[in-house]
């Protein structure tokens, strides 16, 4: 995809915000615990390699990604820290995984058995056994299955390094803790059949690390909170200050006076009730700004300006309080004057979560990095 460097729409990522959020989290951990930065999905839309650099500078000792290609990108960029792929990688890539010293999630003994057939020579695959305690996504289903896999690993310790074991909580970001407690007990039942704990035992994502003291682990997977976003939206209050790392801004590229009775955008879903000043902003749903945000607002000169008519693929229109010059700054996520629009504000207006909004901003929007060098 072409990057839109010749239009005023830009995402700005603040390196100091990410460093602060990581350092603040590490300060809360036990001395024997580590933090792996979750930088999948191009660093939640912030830029994977930049975020990895900031996180490492702040004390992160490893990284988590979702797919093998993301791990390979980090290795190609020169990162030598441990990298864990949280999704299932096909066994046929076992040799590549071993060669690149990448760790992978494994959820079945069948995966281990098949992976061996692709290994050559004295190579070792680093594995983290995934336990399905209630997420229902990947992982061993019962302690019995886990016990059998552990026996398999013991018998094939020349091919596999049992480096980690983990689970993932489904409701750690909610007030009701019954299901969380159920998953925690299931995790402990699993761990009862593990004779020797591996180097990494990890159950805590951002939400777990923020709101649950009991983790039973020595490593956390720090994701959305690293970017300054609340994992629960508005449901729970983050117990310490986190700084949003991303802002999204554009500018007015066309301004006109729309006569009373004229309509705006596809479907003619908005009609001016009086003569109005209308501005056009060069960003749309092809950039990840949701089509459904008609009726939401942006900030211009510290004032909320309503989005009128449907958001188009590449542009949308706003009602202005007065005539404004072309080139006037438009804030879609961030601050203007004394007002602000957060990622949660955008997400709620779109009927989704802040994760999806941040991850959804396309590569067509250029990323600009400030405070890129550690001070």
pLDDT at residue 241 is higher than 80 = yes
Same domain, 160 and 279: no
Q: Return the pLDDT at 122.
A: 87
Q: Quickly tell me which residue has 């001016």 as its tokens.
A: 272
Q: Return the pLDDT at 216.
A: 79
Q: Which parts of 83-218 are beta strand (E)?
A: 83-88, 103-106, 125-130, 160-166, 200-202
pLDDT at residue 315 is higher than 80 = yes
Same domain, 45 and 123: yes
Same domain, 207 and 60: yes
Output the domain CATH number for residue 211.
3.20.20.10
For residue 269, the enclosing domain spans 246-341
349 falls within a domain: no
Output the domain CATH number for residue 282.
2.40.37.10
Q: Return the pLDDT at 102.
A: 98
Q: Are 200 and 216 spatial neighbours (Cβ–Cβ below 8 Å)?
A: no
Same domain, 214 and 282: no
70 falls within a domain: yes
| Single residue among 195, 227, 259 that ends a domain in this structure | 227
Same domain, 214 and 267: no
Same domain, 133 and 264: no
User: In the chain, what percentage of residues exceed pLDDT 70?
Assistant: 100
Backbone angle region of 243, left / alpha / beta, with phi > 0 → left and psi within -120 to 50 → alpha? beta
Q: Are 290 and 307 spatial neighbours (Cβ–Cβ below 8 Å)?
A: no
User: In the chain, what percentage of residues exceed pLDDT 90?
Assistant: 93
The pair of structure tokens assigned to 249 is 């801004």
Mean pLDDT of the residues in the chain: 96
Q: Return the pLDDT at 317.
A: 98
1 falls within a domain: no
Same domain, 82 and 190: yes
Confidence of residue 45 (pLDDT cuts 50, 70, 90): very high
How many domains does the chain fold into?
A: 2
Instruction: Give catalytic residue positions.
Output: 40, 266
Confidence of residue 214 (pLDDT cuts 50, 70, 90): low
Q: Quickly tell me which residue has 């020797």 as its tokens.
A: 196
Same domain, 170 and 122: yes
Overall average pLDDT of the 13-32 stretch: 95
Same domain, 128 and 201: yes
366 falls within a domain: no
Q: What is the pLDDT of residues 323-361, one digit of tens each?
A: 999 999 999 999 999 999 999 999 999 999 999 999 999
Residues in the chain: 375
Same domain, 159 and 254: no
274 falls within a domain: yes
């Amino acid at each position: 995809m072409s990057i839109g460097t010749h239009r005023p729409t830009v995402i700005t990522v603040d390196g100091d915000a990410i460093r602060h959020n990581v350092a603040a989290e590490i300060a809360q951990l036990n001395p024997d615990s580590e933090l792996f930065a979750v930088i999948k999905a191009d660093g939640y839309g912030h830029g994977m390699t930049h975020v990895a650099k900031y996180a490492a500078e702040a004390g992160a000792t490893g990284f988590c990604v979702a797919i093998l290609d993301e791990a390979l990108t980090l290795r190609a960029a020169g990162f030598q820290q441990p990298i864990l792929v949280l999704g299932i990688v096909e066994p046929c890539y076992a040799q590549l995984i071993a060669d690149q010293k990448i760790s992978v999630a494994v959820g079945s003994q069948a995966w281990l058995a098949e992976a061996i057939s692709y290994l050559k020579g004295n190579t070792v695959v680093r594995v983290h056994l995934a336990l399905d305690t209630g997420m229902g996504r990947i992982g061993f289903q019962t302690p019995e299955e886990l016990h059998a896999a552990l026996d398999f690993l013991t018998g094939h310790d020349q091919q596999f390094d049992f480096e980690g074991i983990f689970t993932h909580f489904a409701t750690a970001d909610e007030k009701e803790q019954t299901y969380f407690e159920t998953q925690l007990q299931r995790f402990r039942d699993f761990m009862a059949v593990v004779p020797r704990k591996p180097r990494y035992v990890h159950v805590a994502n951002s939400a777990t690390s923020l709101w649950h003291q009991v983790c039973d682990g020595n490593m956390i997977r720090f994701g959305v909170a690293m970017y300054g976003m609340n994992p629960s939206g508005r449901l729970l209050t983050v117990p310490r200050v986190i700084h949003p790392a991303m802002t999204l801004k554009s500018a007015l590229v066309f301004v006109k006076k729309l006569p009373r009775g004229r309509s705006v955008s596809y479907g003619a879903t908005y009609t001016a009730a009086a003569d109005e000043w209308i501005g056009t902003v060069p960003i749309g749903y092809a950039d990840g700004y949701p089509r459904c945000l008609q009726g939401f607002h942006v900030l211009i000169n510290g004032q909320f300006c309503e989005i009128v008519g449907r958001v188009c693929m590449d542009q949308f229109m706003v009602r202005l309080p007065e005539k404004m010059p072309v080139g006037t700054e438009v804030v879609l996520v961030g601050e203007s004057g004394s007002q602000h629009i957060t990622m949660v504000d955008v997400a709620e207006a779109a009927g989704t979560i802040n994760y999806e909004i941040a991850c959804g901003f396309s590569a067509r929007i250029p990323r600009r990095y400030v405070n890129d060098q550690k001070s």
